[in-house]
Each structure stands twice: as structure tokens, then as C-alpha cells.
Chain A
Amino acid sequence: ETGVTQTPRHLVMGMTNKKSLKCEQHLGHNAMYWYKQSAKKPLELMFVYNFKEQTENNSVPSRFSPECPNSSHLFLHLHTLQPEDSALYLCASSQDARNTEAFFGQGTRLTVV
């Protein structure tokens, strides 16, 4: 148990569906992150939130929409995804966005059909 919990663990969705990934951290951290892990590629940072404010968006398509209602919760809203969006989506948190020690959740394995 790392203190960062992601739900669901697995998700299969059609290209026309709308779904959301949830991340919750119990570490008292102020920064939260979404990463995408695809086969045979390095982890890709998608979004950074620091004290609930989005500080980084790494050219992520608009079909991915993050939401950070408070420092403990982070969502990733998904709509009209493509099969190539199938991947493991990892949430992480750190004390602040200097990111000196980031803790990761177990990830949501997303399959788009």
C-alpha cells in the first residue's frame, strides 16, 4: 500500500463511451500527476496539479480531461477515446511539484475497443 489509490484497476470502454479514472492520496501531498504507460515506451507525463492548480499539460489530446477538486483527489475524464489510448494510466503524488519523491498508485489498465 503506497498511500495512492486508483480506481478502477481495469477498465474496458468503447470509443463512444465516457468514463472517469479516480485517484486518491492519503499522504497529505499537494501535487498530483497523471502518467501514461504504453508498451515499449517510457512513461509519459500527462498532467501536473500543484495545490489544485494545473501547472503542466504535456500536449495531451482534449479527449483526456483532468479534474482536481482538492489536493487529495484527482480524476481523469475520458471521452471518445481511440484504441491507441489503451495503456496503463498511473497516478502519482508528491509533497509539492518539485517532485523530489513521487509515490505512484497501482494504475488503471485501460482497454479501448
Chain B
Amino acid sequence: GEDVEQSLFLSVREGDSSVINCTYTDSSSTYLYWYKQEPGAGLQLLTYIFSNMDMKQDQRLTVLLNKKDKHLSLRIADTQTGDSAIYFCAELRAGSYQLTFGKGTKLSVIP
């Protein structure tokens, strides 16, 4: 498809793991990104993965990339209330300046 797809909502209990999923559009995309947007704020780059990698881990964050299925996921271990935000998946298509974003997944963390 033409759109980057994400579920709109996810609720988890504090201390549990969160997994946010994304399906992107272009198998030749070079970089895949996760951005976080807290209420009233701009986008904060959380992490990104180059397309020749399968996995990237950064502290509580684990990114998994399945190029065959064009599937990207973000796992947040030991989710905290401060992780409540909207998480955007984005792809950088080969030969393009343009980041293509999903509509975002709103993560709600229940204390």
C-alpha cells in the first residue's frame, strides 16, 4: 500500500513490555525510524535502524525489522508512565528526501 500503517491505540500496565507495530510501504527504504511525541511537544527521535539490520537495541528499546514483510516493531521494556505518548513510525524511501510517517500509535500506560 501507499501508507505507513500503525495501530492507533495501545494500552499497557506499568512495568509490562509494550510492542508497537508498523507496516511500511517500500521494500527499498533505507532507514526506518521511531519518533515519540509527548502532549504539546514536537517529535523526538527515539531510534532508527538501517535497512540492512534486523535488530537494534538501545537500553529499554528494541527495534525489530522484517524486510520481507515490511514490518517494523518497537518494544519498550519495563514501560513507565513517562512513556505515555504518541509513537510514529517513519520510513526514508530510497532516493527521497521525504520521511513518510504513519498516523501514530497512542500509548497509554496504566499505573
What is the CB-to-nearest-CB distance from A5 to chain B, in angstroms, rounded to a whole number?
A: 10
Give CA–CA (A50, B23) in the complex, Å.
Answer: 29
Known: A103-B45, A104-B42, A106-B42. A43 touches B98 (CB 8 A): no
- Chain A residues with Cβ below 8 Å from B42 are 2, 4, 6, 90, 104-107
- Shortest Cβ gap from B57 to chain A (Å): 18
Complex interface: chain B residues within 8 A of A31 (CB): 97
Contacts of B100 in A (CB 8 A): 42
Q: Is chain A's interface secondary structure helix, strand, loop, or mixed overall?
A: loop
Contacts of B75 on A, CB cut-off 8 Å?
Answer: none
- Least Cβ–Cβ distance between B39 and chain A, in angstroms: 11
Give B29 Cβ to nearest chain A Cβ, in Å: 12
| A2/B97 in contact, CB under 8 A | no
Chain B residues with CB under 8 Å of A104's CB are 35, 42-45
* Minimum C-beta distance from A74 to chain B (A): 14
Interface string of A94-113 (1 = CB under 8 A from B): 00011111111111000000
The answer, yes or no, to whether A55 is at the interface (CB within 8 Å) is yes
Which A residues, 1 to 29, have Cβ-Cβ distances below 8 Å to chain B? 2, 4, 6
Please report which residues of chain B, range 51-72, place their CB below 8 angstroms from some CB of chain A when the two chains form the complex: none
Please determine whether A42 and B43 come into contact, CB atoms closer than 8 angstroms: no
Query: In the complex, which of the residues B90, B97, B98, B99 has the most CB atoms of chain A within 10 Å of its own CB atom?
Result: B97
In contact, B45 and A101 (Cβ under 8 angstroms): yes
Nearest CB on B from A94, distance (A): 9
Enumerate chain B interface residues (CB-CB to A < 8 A). 3-4, 30-31, 35, 40-45, 48, 88, 90, 92, 97-103
A102-B99, A104-B43 given; 4 more Cβ-contact pairs under 8 Å: A6-B42, A42-B100, A45-B97, A107-B41
